[in-house]
Amino acid sequence: MKSELLEKCIHQPLRQFLGHSLKECFYHDVFGQDLLTTNNKGIDIIAQQLELIFDNNESIFISWDTIDGWHQYSLSISNKAFCKNTERYLANSSFWQYYIGSAFSGYEVYGYVENKIITYNALNIPINTACYYNEPHLVLLYFDNITVAIANFCLEDDFVPTLPMGDDVWILFDPISIQLCIKKLGLEKLEA
């Protein structure tokens, strides 16, 4: 079941678009484009989902989701939207302009091979331990010679994640920011 979830929720949806060119990109958020959370230096944060449309006019959606077998907030990818009734607008063209028309050539998945979460009572005594396996939180997408990372973390005002899970979608264009997130949170490369 452990690797089956990774196959179903990450690998299978992505593999079908390998070799296809990116046609359009949309952000889905609770607020409109004028309230986009961005540092204007290569990190955008949205609340709902990222929609990528390819040259075959089919879409994939990347968001956080609650999946039985993983922690409450894990990265997930699907051909179906995760949410409805959101503000949908063209993604930040300052960065996405370099990806549009480029072929989706590969990807890497990062998260935790084993994520052990211990719950404590008010006296700081452990009362429950849950283990989750092959839990994804960041995916690197390769388009020809450029990379973008999509992750699920909590919103942070300083654009530096503190938790390896969350109910916001981070889009990271800057390679230094991507490596910082992977290292700071101790994310591991998850193999197929």
Residue 192's pLDDT is: 67
What's the distance, Cα to Cα, between the start and end of the chain in Å? 13
In the sheet that 87-90 helps form, which strands lie side by side, from edge to edge?
74-78, 59-65, 49-54, 22-29, 87-90
Residue range 61-73, pLDDT digits in tens:
999 988 888 888 8
H or E segment to which residue 141 belongs? strand 126-143
Classified as helix, coil or strand, 35 is: helix
How many CB atoms lie under 10 A from the CB of residue 154?
15
Residue 23 has pLDDT above 50, yes or no: yes
pTM above threshold 0.85: yes
Domain count, the chain: 1
Residue 2 has pLDDT above 80, yes or no: no
Dihedral class, residue 57 (left if φ above 0, else alpha if ψ from -120 to 50, else beta): left
Residue range 122-152, pLDDT digits in tens:
999 999 998 989 999 999 999 998 999 999 9
**Amino acid found at 42:** G
Domain that holds residue 39: 2-190
Residue 1's pLDDT is: 43
DSSP string, 142-173: EETTEEEEEEEE---TTS---SS--SEEEEE-
**Can you tell me the mean pLDDT for 30-45?**
87
Dihedral class, residue 20 (left if φ above 0, else alpha if ψ from -120 to 50, else beta): beta
Backbone angles phi, psi at 105, to 5 degrees: -110, -10
- Degrees to nearest 5, angle at CA 80 with 54 and 143: 30
Residue range 57-113, pLDDT digits in tens:
999 999 998 888 888 889 999 999 998 888 888 888 889 999 999 999 999 999 999
**Can you tell me the mean pLDDT for 158-169?**
88
Arithmetic mean of pLDDT over the chain? 92
